[in-house]
Amino acid sequence: MLLTKFLPMVCLAIKVELPGFDGNGGSSYVGSGCFHRRETLCGQRYNKEHKADWKKWINKLEARESASVLEETCKVLASCTYEENTQWGKEMGLKYGCRLDDIFTGLAIQYRGWRSIYFNPKRNGFLGVAPTTLLESLIQQKDWCEGGFQIFASSYCPLVNGHKNIPLKLLLSYCPYMLWAVNCLPTLYYVTVPSIFLLKGICLFPELTFTITTKVADNDVSQRYEQEVMEFGTPSPMFTILATVALLNAFCFAGGMKRVIVDVQTLVSEPFILQILLYGLLILINIPVYQGLFLRKDNGRMPISVTYLSIMCALSVCTIALY
């Protein structure tokens, strides 16, 4: 992969993003500034035992043909019907049917086991042509967005077809480009909604508050800390979640034990025994929470509001699960 003189955005991609691709398993084919092995474009799969027969191609180059033969050959190649009823555009050459044909082709090559290598010499190897107006640039980027999402939504999606021959980190590297079109939704939101809310005088963002960790504790809190007793004295959504999960485990364990007592032969099997042991372990882990909910009378117990709310939430989840 050689460096191309392109737009600043493209230059950034070539100088920064493609080396990142290379570090994740191989840079992508971006349509320009690339060398391909003949076998990769001819649809061949990678084989460790494959060796290029350079003498074969040298002999072909040395073979001299008459000007008339070359002229007739070129006419056939230049005709619009040369690729009809062939594998060109499907299994050979550049892939057809996608606006992002370069990425499409590069993925197909990598799916066949070939690897790409990023190479950036000091002297530029290629000189590319880029859009010169804003409209042309926007049209080009629109095509890139549509083509990337078309690949993501097709059977050639890297996450679907690439897991066998492409490393996971390289598959994830393709996702921001494949989902570039979807990124327009949050972009449009951030450039329109705040402006409209500002015009209507509506505050969109909440008031900034800072949660500061308490560094000074009173005597009771210090004493409970020394006794290794958990402190639940402050109403907090985090305590509500913790208590709800603990109560849910307790209710499910009680319901499971009831079923075991009623139908011992069916439920006392290896899978259910493991499940009962798991819930029993969770009950033991949550004993300090149960103590804070129901047994403790000090100021460090779970607040009443948290207790009632967590009981209601846990019972609601159990009811939904049963019915």
Whether residue 179 is found in the same domain as residue 202? yes
Across 56-74, average pLDDT:
65
Whether residue 285 is found in the same domain as residue 249? yes
**233-246: string of b/e by CB count within 10 Å (b at 16+)?**
beeeeebbebbbbb
In a domain, 77, yes or no: no
Which of the pair, 264 or 147, is modelled with greater confidence?
147
In a domain, 189, yes or no: yes
- Look over the chain and give the mean of its residue pLDDT values, rounded to a whole number: 77
DSSP string computed for 194-251: HHHHHHHT---SPPP----------HHHHHHHHTT-----S--HHHHHHHHHHHHHHH
Which residue among 183, 209, 235 closes a domain?
Answer: 209
Q: How confident is the model at residue 7 (pLDDT cuts 50, 70, 90)?
A: low
Which residue range(s) make up the domain with 250? 219-322
Give the Cα separation of 144 and 146 in Å (integer): 6
Q: How confident is the model at residue 76 (pLDDT cuts 50, 70, 90)?
A: confident
Q: How confident is the model at residue 1 (pLDDT cuts 50, 70, 90)?
A: very low
Per-residue pLDDT, 304:
92
In a domain, 75, yes or no: no
Cβ proximity of 178 and 149 under 8 Å:
yes
The letter for the amino acid at 58 is I
Whether residue 202 is found in the same domain as residue 231? no
Per-residue pLDDT, 46:
82
In a domain, 139, yes or no: yes
Closest CA to 109 of 97, 130, 120, 93: 93
93 pLDDT more than 90? no
Whether residue 229 is found in the same domain as residue 287? yes
pTM: 0.54
Count structural domains, the chain: 2
293 pLDDT more than 90? yes
- Its sign, for the CA torsion 177, 9, 145, 37, is negative
DSSP code for 4:
E
Enumerate residues 6+ apart whose C-beta is below 8 A from 219. none
Across 21-31, average pLDDT:
80
Q: Which two tokens stand for residue 194?
A: 């705040």
In a domain, 41, yes or no: yes
Whether residue 293 is found in the same domain as residue 167? no
Which residue among 191, 209, 227 closes a domain?
Answer: 209
Cβ proximity of 99 and 147 under 8 Å:
yes
Q: What is the pLDDT of residues 185-241, one digit of tens each?
A: 888 887 677 666 666 666 666 665 565 555 555 777 778 778 888 888 888 888 889
Whether residue 195 is found in the same domain as residue 231? no
